[in-house]
Amino acid sequence: MNVLILGSGGREHALAWKISQSSSCNKLFIAPGNAGTNLVGINKNIDVTDFNEIKHLVIDEDVEMVVVGPEDPLVNGIYDFFKNDNDLNHVSIIGPSKEGAQLEGSKKFAKEFMQRHNIPTAKYKSFDKDTLQEGYDFLETLSPPYVLKADGLAAGKGVLIINSISEAKSELKSMLLDSKFGQASSTVVIEEFLDGIELSVFVITNGDTYKILPTAKDYKRIGEGDTGLNTGGMGAVSPVPFVDRFFMEKIEQEIIKPSIEGLKKENISYKGFLFIGLIKVGSEPKVIEYNVRMGDPETEVVIPRIKSDFLNLLKGIKDGTFSEKDLNISEDVAATVMLVSEGYPQKYNKGYEIINSENCEGSIIFHAGTTKDEGIVKTNGGRVIAVTSFGKTLEGALAKSNKNAEKINFQGKSYRKDIGFDL
Ligand code: AMP
Ligand code: GLY
């Protein structure tokens, strides 16, 4: 079958790398892709939210499945666009409907969904410009730190964790009245701060049954020891060592099952990935957020640990055989280290030549912000390359990734040498 992957990051390179290995994969397209995806498929320079251009590509190239990497096309309704078009409704979209994508597109929707289905999460209330005073009053009932979340998509920047009540109030006002995060903060969720260790679980569902993919933990802060600004993710490990069989069982019964059942009960079409961000408070898992896609860089450790044919599993969603398909996971530990541009996550320059990315023995190199320009691979984003390795132990996997992270070079390269430090 011909497959199209939407997106251009390390996540999409990891998905393309895996899908290209399937005996069921005929032509593989990635839009817009990067210099790495072009090694395993054919890049098409189309924006992920340009549904009409995507339609032309799908028809011209006889694409039967579209795997959606990032959240934007999902929140904008690519699933519904395909379903409602007679020329496209035979194509399988791996990703939820617009309504299902609200689990990520609206924090308020997600919180209300969790409440309806008794899914453990932080206590919360939501506010808009007409209920600012009630927001101040609610803050007074909480103890610091205060967690303020813009309701809508804010490119990963919409969550504020603030120690002082006066600052929390002034930020709330700026989100609601001064559009601090634009339209995304016209509604704000205020929630109780949860103190614990974070992890992520990933589920793939056909809307009826589900399979649990490997767990992962990502490292979001730019600086070693989890300091400094938030980024998209500086590295990740899989599996998460503190998740034993009992804790996983708890996550499945209290969170995964009611989430999938809840979608079904509410008649929300959902055939795709569900990424559940969790925090372990004492021995209890609580949901911090849902994402309706895979994580990046979590995908760069989750997908390589899957031994079975992943496209075959996705085909099961299309042809109704999903529950019979195998999902075999490697026992090995995977770790990834992200090489980033100097200045990231703030202002950075692009266009620097990347050297030594081809010969990194012992690691898999997933491109993120890269491009090929006149035959030369160059930096093209803040997060540039993810270096993934396997090991019998986390230390072993990290040693290989760190060695190759050292070897690959471009002007201004930086990376965290302490991925997994807290495990
Ligand atoms: P989110 O975009 O919802 O994932 O939030 C970004 C980050 O903020 C999370 O990865 C957590 O580190 C932190 N966070 C979000 N909600 C809470 C909470 N209720 N308590 C503690 N930390 C939180
Ligand atoms: N690494 C976090 C995310 O993809 O949202």
pLDDT digit string, tens, across residues 88-117: 999 999 999 999 999 999 999 999 999 999
CATH 3.30.1490.20 positions along the chain are 123-191
Query: Which pLDDT belongs to residue 266?
Result: 98
Alpha-carbon distance 382 to 366, whole Å? 14
Least confident of 148-162, 245-259, 348-362: 148-162
Shortest-distance ligand to the CA of residue 199: 1
Determine if ligand 2 sits within 6 Å of the CB of residue 218.
yes
Q: Burial level of 346, CB count in 10 A (0-12/13-18/19+)?
A: exposed
Q: Is the pTM for the entire model greater than 0.85?
A: yes
Determine if ligand 2 sits within 6 Å of the CB of residue 9.
no
Q: Which two tokens stand for residue 132?
A: 């600012």
Percent of the chain with pLDDT over 70: 100
**Phi and psi at residue 269, in whole multiples of 5°?**
-70, 125
CATH 3.40.50.20 positions along the chain are 3-97
Its CATH architecture, for the domain 3-97, is 3-Layer(aba) Sandwich (3.40)
Please report, to the nearest 10 degrees, the dihedral formed by the alpha carbons of residues 23, 27, 32, 37 taken in order: 40
Pocket residue to mutate for ligand 1, from 124, 139, 161, 181, most atoms within 8 A of Cβ: 161
Q: What is the DSSP string of 153-180?
A: --TT--EEEES-HHHHHHHHHHHHTS-T
123-191 carries CATH number 3.40.50.10540: no
Query: Which pLDDT belongs to residue 205?
Result: 98
pLDDT band at 82 (very low <50, low <70, confident <90, very high): very high
Shortest-distance ligand to the CA of residue 233: 2
Alpha-carbon distance 209 to 214, whole Å? 17
